[in-house]
Amino acid sequence: MIAVSDVHHHIGQAQILRDITLTLPAGKITALIGPNGAGKSTLLSLVARLTPLQQGQITVAGLDVQRAPSRELARTMAILPQNVAVFSRLRVRELVAFGRWPHHQGRPGPQDAAKVAAALHDMGLDDLSHRFLDQLSGGQRQRAHLAMALAQDTPWLLLDEPLAALDMAHARALMQTLARLRDSGKSIVMVLHEVNYAAAWADHVVALKAGRVLAHGTPETVFAPDVLGALYDTRLRVIRQDGRPLVLHHL
């Protein structure tokens, strides 16, 4: 599990996160939701030790993210940051292969090649693997970065808005892949912009607003109309579809 305790974060004078104490369950898909600027990306990048922790403590599978060796952390969690932009002119396969770095540190073996091939396949990139990244569309590039995170093959997968730029079919395919990974024992934490993906696929939901946890728990508890309405400051309706909440907000 991921344990976040007593985390505060500020940038300059602005308080970005206040008093966050949470546990995120292992073996589940956890969705982080909340309005723009709520602090979702900040929280995820603190967990992934991309941003230095200012106060509090975070452990991932028992490893203190501030103290554990960086290679061990890299074999425990993979992170897809929000809006990654890459200047390098790499082929898709070369980018994805870098995901194996924490395991082989420069001496890739046949097992590494197999994981790269599997990740490319899972993201539907078989036919694009020899293309340069600058010859891809935004969504294809996003899938290449996702494949890199998948190739890292870590027990924990942290994804910041992985569906951003993906079309419906690829978004659904990604969620199915993630559900399959969850069923094989992996743990996934993802920031989701579109609440209905969280409603349909997440096992656990954390709702952040203005740097605080507004609610967390099963989709059933978080997707109550009054909770969700307060979260996004908007009028909406929640119905049930196939045993899952479905949010209607085009009213």
The structure tokens 């599978």 sit at 61
Q: Which stretch binds another protein (CB under 8 A): 18-26, 28-36, 96-104, 219-227?
A: 96-104
Q: Which stretch binds ligand ADP (CB under 6 A): 38-46, 58-66, 68-76, 115-123?
A: 38-46
CB-wise, 25 or 52, nearer to another protein?
Answer: 52
Q: Which does 81 bind (CB under 5 to 8 A by kind): ligand ADP, another protein, Mg ion, none?
A: another protein
142 binds Mg ion (CB under 5 A): no
41 binds Mg ion (CB under 5 A): yes
- Name the nearest CA neighbour of 145 among 98, 87, 187: 98
Site residue total, another protein (CB under 8 A): 31
38 binds ligand ADP (CB under 6 A): yes
Q: Which residues contact 31 (CB under 8 A, 6 or more apart)?
A: 190, 191, 192, 197, 198, 201, 202, 204, 205, 206
- Name the nearest CA neighbour of 222 among 208, 209, 235, 205: 205
3-state SS assignment for residue 91? strand
The region that residue 62 occupies, defined by phi over 0 for left and psi between -120 and 50 for alpha, beta otherwise, is: left
Contact residues: ligand ADP, CB under 6 A: 11, 14, 16, 34, 36-42
Contact residues: another protein, CB under 8 A: 45, 48-50, 70-75, 78-79, 81, 84-91, 94-95, 98-99, 101-102, 106, 132, 134, 152
